[in-house]
């Protein structure tokens, strides 16, 4: 539980500042880590200098309350923050006071009055070693707020930054490659002059990480330590660029690779990070293609490197002998199909369609191979679509094969990719057999787990779009009407899948067996639509519904139960008002040519009046019970 909040305003307590600081000291002195964490949270709140707002008015309850202690003079505010910074220095060995100061450094500096205290704290923290978080925080303040600062304040801030700046190789790698600080984007000198050019900023940071890697090759003792550390780091955002720098600066590529591979092999498989290897290989391949090719050839059968071979090959590039190597790797037996997904973008970019299909056919028999092949082919299709290129017929044929093979029950199945393949590969009458098999696989998945309706919605929707009659035959006729979710509409004016189909398609399908099919079509067709009028929105009978009603031979069966017809799937405000508008909207059916329709409208008047009256009573009770 947070003890203080939004100080020096809105704390909700009259405790003076000195009492609050005493409490923080007491909590920080405890041996209980939970109490020390409360001390950190309280100190963090005392250092807040910017965000003072609350949705509460502090007057709820039996006892009178207010916003709490507030400063009366500017000197009270300055003293609050100066003493809080001093307290942070005092407690730095008990709680994460450095983190708290770094978190609020920009706001404290901008608020003014405690710059000297912040400088003293920064110098004291720097005595314990490089304070990366503080350096980044003060640089951020200078970068964003420096232009509006008085010259002497800006000079003081620059002085702090120069004092905190990491100069050693290890500290700079921690700051830039491992980014053990917040806001690594501001590490480069001079970058504050082009704050808005984010892409250029990231490019310069990447180049700086490459340069640090190149520099590190000249410090063997520190390099070994850094490589070991980066190899097991779960968060090393610029390990790839660092690896490139190692390849750029290495005197002998094979010796550097041995060091990198040894660190990787010796690390815990659950934590080791292969990104640095990928960066090294990319640069090494450009520097010496013969060395890179030999390394890749050996990696295919290596028990440690083999499982990530597609990643290494993708970093070197998918060209020349790359597809041959990938096919060898697929046949060797070390790989799960998912390992190949990393080549998806490269395959889409320019591999010959025949080579892509041959590789995907080799991936298909692997564990998770169908799902991986589907993902790669999906990326090829969307890339060609975005470039307005024709889809190679070999991709279409392979897409049908993959769609038949994948198991829609598996959570790992890329269902969006499957939906894209359905829309691209199942057009044309010759795809009926594949569509029927896919439809059966989807149904099997739904029977095994009805919760998959939510996840398979796009897949089913795609089947309805490209093969509507086949989809209707099984998803409407083949499922018990009482359990068929595809006939339901959800939320505010959201049609069911049946409700999305072109009305002419529905009529053509329903006319094949009208006595049965119009009844089912009616269950999935909303009776109402909302029309924009000058005075607002008006509920009216849907033209789609009226057209289907006119074609239905048994109109009472098509209309169904009046409760289901009149109750909205979603609404705002009073349900009684919605029901009243719907009763008004059905009145034109009183003049319908069919007597059964007129009777249906007449029969709903009395129960609807009772229903609306009940809802009005519910509305009144809710209003009267509000406190």
**Mean pLDDT of the region 331-335:** 91
Q: What is the pLDDT of residue 188?
A: 47
- Asked whether residue 341 is assigned to any structural domain, the reply reads no
In tens, the pLDDT along 411-424 reads 666 788 899 999 99
Mean pLDDT of the chain: 86
Pair 601, 590: CB distance under 8 Å: yes
553-564, pLDDT tens digit by residue? 999 999 998 888
Looking at residue 4, its pLDDT comes to: 33
| 625 is a domain residue | yes
**Cα gap 85→550, rounded to integer Å:** 78
- DSSP, collapsed to helix, strand or coil, labels residue 538 as strand
**Which of 258-265's residues contact partners 24+ apart within 8 Å by CB, and which partners?**
259/223, 259/224, 259/227, 260/227, 260/231, 261/305, 263/224, 263/227, 263/228, 263/231, 264/231, 264/304, 265/304
Mean pLDDT of 195-223: 86
For residue 211, count other CB atoms closer than 10 A to its CB.
17
* 394 vs 167, higher pLDDT: 394
pLDDT band for 314, please (50, 70, 90 cuts): very high
Percent of residues, the chain, with pLDDT higher than 90: 55
Q: How far apart are CA 318 and CA 547, in angstroms?
A: 56
Report pLDDT for 414.
Answer: 73
Question: What number of other Cβ atoms are within 10 A of residue 328's Cβ?
Answer: 15
Q: Residue 575 falls within a domain, yes or no?
A: yes
Q: Tell me, what's the pLDDT at 163?
A: 93
Alpha-carbon distance values, 269 to 78, 81, 304, 306, 337 (Å): 52, 47, 9, 13, 19
Chain segment 362-378, per-residue pLDDT in tens: 999 999 999 999 999 99
Q: Classify residue 159: in a domain, yes or no.
A: no
3-class SS of residue 573: coil
**Confidence check: pLDDT of 478 > 60:** yes
The answer to whether residue 516 sits within a structural domain is yes
- For 452-474, what is each residue's pLDDT tens digit? 777 788 888 899 899 999 988 88
Task: Quote the pLDDT of residue 323.
Answer: 93
Nearest to 415 by CA among 379, 460, 380, 376: 460
Per-residue pLDDT averaged across 203-215, rounded?
A: 93
CA nearest 273: which of 248, 244, 239, 301?
239
DSSP code per residue over 241-296: HHHHHHHHH-S-HHHHHHHHHHHHHHS-TTT---HHHHHHHHHHHHH-HHHHHHHH
The residues that bridge with 537 in the sheet, in sequence order, are 532
Please tell me which residue, 448 or 334, carries the higher pLDDT value.
334
Domain containing residue 622 = 500-627
**CA 18 to each of CA 84, 96, 465: distance values in angstroms, whole numbers, following the listed order:** 10, 21, 70
- The tally of domains found in the chain comes to 1
pLDDT score of 53 more than 70: no
Model confidence pLDDT, tens digit, residues 268-294: 988 898 999 999 999 999 999 999 999
28 occurs within a structural domain: no
**What SS3 state is found at 54?**
coil
Nearest alpha-carbon partner for 157 in 193, 105, 194, 205:
105
Alpha carbon distance 438, 464 (integer Å)? 12
Predicted pLDDT at 119: 96
In a domain, 188, yes or no: no
Which residue did the predictor score with more confidence, 90 or 451?
90
Q: What is the pLDDT of residues 98-123, one digit of tens each?
A: 999 999 999 999 877 899 999 999 99
Are 105 and 141 in contact, with CB atoms under 8 Å apart? yes
Question: What φ, ψ does residue 531 adopt, rounded to 5°?
Answer: -115, 135
151 against 55, higher pLDDT: 151
Structure tokens given for 4: 């203080």
257 domain-assigned: no
């Amino acid at each position: 539980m947070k003890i203080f909040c939004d100080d020096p305003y809105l704390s909700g307590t009259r405790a003076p500042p000195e009492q609050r600081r005493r409490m923080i000291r007491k909590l920080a002195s405890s041996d209980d880590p939970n109490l020390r964490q409360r001390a950190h949270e309280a100190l963090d709140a005392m250092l807040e200098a910017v965000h003072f707002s609350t949705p509460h008015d502090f007057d709820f309850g039996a006892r009178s309350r207010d916003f709490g202690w507030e400063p009366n003079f500017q000197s009270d505010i300055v003293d609050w923050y100066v003493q809080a910074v001093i307290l942070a220095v005092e407690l730095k060995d008990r709680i994460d006071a450095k983190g708290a100061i770094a978190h609020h450094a920009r706001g404290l500096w901008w608020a003014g009055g405690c710059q000297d205290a912040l400088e003293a704290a920064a110098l004291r923290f720097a005595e314990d070693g490089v304070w990366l978080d503080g350096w980044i925080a003060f640089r951020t303040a200078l970068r964003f707020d420096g232009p509006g600062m008085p010259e002497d304040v800006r000079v003081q801030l620059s002085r702090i930054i120069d004092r905190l700046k990491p100069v050693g190789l290890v500290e700079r790698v921690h700051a830039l490659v491992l980014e053990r600080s917040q806001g690594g984007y501001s590490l480069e000198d001079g970058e504050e002059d082009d704050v808005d050019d984010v892409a250029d900023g990231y490019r310069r940071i990447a180049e700086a990480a490459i340069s640090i890697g190149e520099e590190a090759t000249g410090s063997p003792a520190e390099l070994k330590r850094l490589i070991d550390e980066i190899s097991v780091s779960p968060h090393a955002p610029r390990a790839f660029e660092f690896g490139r720098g190692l390849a750029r600066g290495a005197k002998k590529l094979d010796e550097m690779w041995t060091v990198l591979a040894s660190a990787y092999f010796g690390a815990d498989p659950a934590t080791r990070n292969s990104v640095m290897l990928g960066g090294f290989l990319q640069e090494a391949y450009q520097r010496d293609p013969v060395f890179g090719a030999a390394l890749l050839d050996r990696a295919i059968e290596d028990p440690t490197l083999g499982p990530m071979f597609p990643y290494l090959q993708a970093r070197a590039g998918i060209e020349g002998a790359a597809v041959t190597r990938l096919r060898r790797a697929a046949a060797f037996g070390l790989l799960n199909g998912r390992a190949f997904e990393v080549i998806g973008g490269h395959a889409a970019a320019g591999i010959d369609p025949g080579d892509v299909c041959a590789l995907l056919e080799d991936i298909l028999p692997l564990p998770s191979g169908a799902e991986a092949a589907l993902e790669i082919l999906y990326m090829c299709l969307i890339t060609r679509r975005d470039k307005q290129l024709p889809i190679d017929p070999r991709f279409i044929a392979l897409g049908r094969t993959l769609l038949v093979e994948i198991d829609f029950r598996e959570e790992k199945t890329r269902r969006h990719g499957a939906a894209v393949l359905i829309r691209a590969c199942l057009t044309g009458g010759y795809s009926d057999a594949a569509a029927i098999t896919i439809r059966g696989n989807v149904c099997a998945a739904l029977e095994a787990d009805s919760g998959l309706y939510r996840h398979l919605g796009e897949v089913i929707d795609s089947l309805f779009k490209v093969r509507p009659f086949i989809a209707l035959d099984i998803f409407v006729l083949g499922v018990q009407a009482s359990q068929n979710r595809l006939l339901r509409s959800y939320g505010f004016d959201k049609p069911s899948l049946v409700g999305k189909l072109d009305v002419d398609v529905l009529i053509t399908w329903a006319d094949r067996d009208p006595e049965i099919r119009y009844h089912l079509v009616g269950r999935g067709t909303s009776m109402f639509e909302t029309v924009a009028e000058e005075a607002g929105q008006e509920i009216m009978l849907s033209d789609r519904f009226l057209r289907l009603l006119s074609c239905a031979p048994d109109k009472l069966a098509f209309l169904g139960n009046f409760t289901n017809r009149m109750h909205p799937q979603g609404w705002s405000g009073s349900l009684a008002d919605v029901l009243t508008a719907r009763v008004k909207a059905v009145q034109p059916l009183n003049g319908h040519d069919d007597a059964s329709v007129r009777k249906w409208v007449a029969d709903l008047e009395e129960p609807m009046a009772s229903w609306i009256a009940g809802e009005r009573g519910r509305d009144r009770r809710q209003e009267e019970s509000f406190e």
